Structure 1
Amino acid sequence: MTVTPGLIDAHTHIGTCPEGTPYSMTDENDMTDPSTPQLRILDSIYPFDEAFGEARKGGVTAVQVLPGSANVIGGQGAVIKTRGLVVDEMAVLAPSGMKAALGENPIGVYKEKNQLPTTRMGNAACMRNTLQEAFNYKAAKEHWLAKKDEDKDPFDIKPGMEALLPVVEKKMPLRVHCHRADDIATAVRTAEEFGIELTLEHCTEGHLIPDYLASKKVMAAVGPTLSCRPKIELRHMTWDTLKVFSERAIHFCIITDHPVTPVHSLMLCATMAHRAGLSREEALRAVTLSSAEHLGLEARMGSLEPGKDGDIVLWKGDPFDARTEVAITFIDGAEVYRA
């Protein structure tokens, strides 16, 4: 048998679109306004989604759940363990980042509504407008707090802006959905303009601009690559992206974007990456420790070390053999699956 750390999927929508739920009834996208930072994905996660059981069966012990990419600013994500009855008890880090999106998805949603954004420059404008509003709100709140109590008028608390304060204060990253190379560059450019932290989510065409990404020292969650190409911006999707990133020392992890690729297929994705040129060590790291680093949780999970969470998977053989099943999965030291 083989023992590994619990697998970590750093970008999913598990629990927000439960197995068998019609798309019109899923809860990952609130397509009413292109900027909805006040949304919290914790309020949409259904712990009884059958996909959580499949995740444990596949050795996946932790996931980041993010709002969808219909809105330019989509709301707060959360990192949770894949077992539990109440999402508050499953949560490891909430919020874990502010979801944002560039590219086709927001354009497709809001072009039908005949409102901004209907172009890529509209996406960027919406993102900048919201970030600037957040910086203005921060300045106004600090000015109000500095006043003497007798001089203070009531301050108008805005939940959306409060949700963005950790982003503008560089305490939490903006996690930007971006597939195409130009959208990737726009995400980096915008983060630099505002002096905020970001992660690149998907980064499908990242292999076309590797030197640029290496110079920017970005972190990328790459995938889902175990899928077809249903959108124009996925035309250059390839497993070679991971090999190119490895050669340029660009930090990356592998994601499923569940339900686009089922979360229990995460180890299969690592196997495909190994077949495409990553070493076994790099491929395994891309679904364990690199994922933890992407989430800022490497002190708690992602490797087998004293003091870390007891998230452990025992495999019946070589996990890089697609025929190998999980024998036992442990989360926080407790057995949560046995074949």
Structure 2
Amino acid sequence: MKILVTGAAGFIGAHCVLRLLRDGHEVFGLDNFNDYYDPQLKHDRVRWVQEQVGDFQLSTIDLADVEAIAALFAREKPEVVIHLGAQAGVRYSLENPRAYVDSNLSGFLNILEGCRNHPVKHLIYASSSSVYGANHHTPYSVQHNVDHPLSLYAATKKSNELMAHSYSYLFGIPCSGLRFFTVYGPWGRPDMSPIQFARAIAEGSPLKLFNYGEHQRDFTYIDDIIESIARLIDRPPQADVDWDRQQPDPATSMAPWRLYNIGGQHPVELKDYLALLEKHLGRKARVELLPLQPGDVLNTCADASDLAHATGFQPRIELDEGLGRFVAWFRTYYSLPIANAARG
């Protein structure tokens, strides 16, 4: 198929492009290469993909650029859109909220308009486990209520699900929303804990552990995310003819619209997660214990049974194995010496 991948130079986007090209799809991507984190990492991801499968079409376009997005759809006419581009980060949304409105709301509207004006077979878009917000009932199910987000980032992701539903209902666009749970692995984002923690351990600098390391995260290795996306491409949702307006299922609809959790389903306390990183890096961390940060949720755990039912697949790579792969990449990419200190 001819597939547009937004955020193609991002962590998940680059891995997705690589898999799609290996599967024989015609792929073109877009990314704005913004400086939320060092753009060099994004360029290096693109080069990594090119070294393995050759060059691919990649446009430098901002999602909020109405005319550029419209022109791209008119010119390329994708059959499938995998929308992974967004302004990421829970904590940054407290500092720069307008970046989230521009990218995650206005940008997503531009993607929906492109799919409306040039109909696609399937729009797959990234949501987030953060939409579960104040809900403390785990494992999180796509049937649960998500009306109480704890950050603007989470609110924009919930909004994306609602926007997609309205376009799916009005214009028949098959839409699948994917709620990702703490994705990690090689080429990850430097604002996320794997690189932040690994760098601090390698350098022997203090490592901030919020909520005193007592909250849990459902870590999901990048390969499991990509396998899930690849399997969903040719499984666009169908309208649920049995959908009950009196007792509506939040995960399905009378429109061709669907939600899926993609998570490892084995939550780990951050203290235990840190211990695994220490093992793979070969030294102990210097830890600074701090209270829970605004916008963070206490625990996450995915119920991915709907994904398994739809695709026959659910995440399977254990955290110990995944962190081992991550650390091997980290050592090579960053070439950071291990500081002189007692090893543990």
- TM category, shorter: 0.3 to 0.5
Q: Which has the higher helix share?
A: 2
- The structure whose RCO (Cα within 8 Å, separation 6+) is larger is 1
